[in-house]
Amino acid sequence: STQAPILADSKSVAGVKGTDSERTFIMIKPDGVQRGLIGKVVSRFEERGYKLVAMKTVAPSKDLAEKHYADLKNKPFFPSLVEYMSNGAAPVVVKELSQELIYMSIVSVWEGTDVIRQGRVMLGATSPLDAAPGTIRGQYCVSIGRNAIHGSDSFESAEKEIGMWFSAAGELVSWEPANWKWVMS
Ligand code: ADP
């Protein structure tokens, strides 16, 4: 068959914690997409030695943005965070051009050893002003409300977020680069 192999272990979309099949959910948020940071983010994960197992564009509904950030629903910045992720936060002049495109994000799933924790390290602190130089937020951002990228902060979050944004059966692909065993040994 010419079809890519589909993930078999559908019990856990975040793979097996603590093994090289561990997976995390990484989202390039609307400001990251608008600023052209997709390639830089993807390159960092690829170059680190992580494997892309799913990626797509999304313009999430308000409901999905609220569900994704449900843990933060009592925070004062929650309404503006949801607007930023879904709709309504664009400058008026931009809104008139094309509202949907403003809120496009890239969602992806990356797999590999310690990818959840390392992904967080690569992102940098939530506030870009506290993020170490060389981290994604520390290199490309200055505003906590426009910090370009999201990454799961635990195995449980990864499991929940991958399941929320992807349908595991059809969208996560299990594959191995031709030279993988040798490169990663
Ligand atoms: P992280 O994205 O690093 O996991 P949180 O889960 O605490 O951080 O917050 C989710 C997102 O909410 C942040 O990435 C940021 O976009 C936004 N956010 C967090 N704190 C603030 C704040 N004080 N003001 C505005 N936005 C915030």
Question: Which helix (H) or strand (E) segment is 139 a member of?
Answer: helix 136-140
Task: Return the pLDDT at 103.
Answer: 81
Q: Please report the DSSP string for 45-92 in residue order.
A: HHHHT-EEEEEEEE---HHHHHHHTGGGTTSTTHHHHHHHHSSS-S-H
Q: What is the pLDDT of residues 62-102, one digit of tens each?
A: 899 999 999 999 999 999 999 889 875 555 555 565 556 67
Cβ pair 98, 90 in contact under 8 A: no
- Known catalytic residue at 150: yes
Three-state SS for 6? strand
The domain spanning residue 169 has which CATH number?
3.30.70.141
147 is in an annotated binding site: yes
**In-domain check, residue 157:** yes
**In-domain check, residue 35:** yes
**In-domain check, residue 133:** yes
**In-domain check, residue 174:** yes
Taking the CA of residue 71 as reference, the ligand 1 atom at the shortest distance is: 6
Tokens 């892309």, residue located: 52
Q: What's the token pair of residue 22?
A: 């561990």
Q: Is 83 in the pocket of ligand 1 (CB under 6 A)?
A: no
**In-domain check, residue 70:** no
CA distances from 24 to 7, 10, 83, 163 (A): 15, 15, 24, 11
Phi and psi of 157, rounded to 5°?
A: -65, -40
Q: Is 81 in the pocket of ligand 1 (CB under 6 A)?
A: yes
Number of domains comprising the chain: 1
Task: Return the pLDDT at 88.
Answer: 55
When pLDDT is averaged across residues 22-48 and rounded to a whole number, the result is 97
**Does ipTM come in above 0.85?**
yes
Domain containing 128 equals 23-59+104-183
CA 144 to chain centroid: 16
| Residue 4 reports pLDDT greater than 60 | no
Split at pLDDT 50, 70, 90, the class of 185 is: confident
d(CA 67, CA 81): 12
72: DSSP letter: G
> Residue with the nearest Cα to atom 20 of ligand 1?
144
**In-domain check, residue 82:** no
Task: Return the pLDDT at 181.
Answer: 87
Q: What is the pLDDT of residues 122-168, one digit of tens each?
A: 999 999 999 999 999 999 999 999 999 999 999 999 999 999 999 98
**In-domain check, residue 17:** no
Cβ pair 27, 41 in contact under 8 A: no
74: DSSP letter: T
When pLDDT is averaged across residues 45-51 and rounded to a whole number, the result is 97
**In-domain check, residue 29:** yes
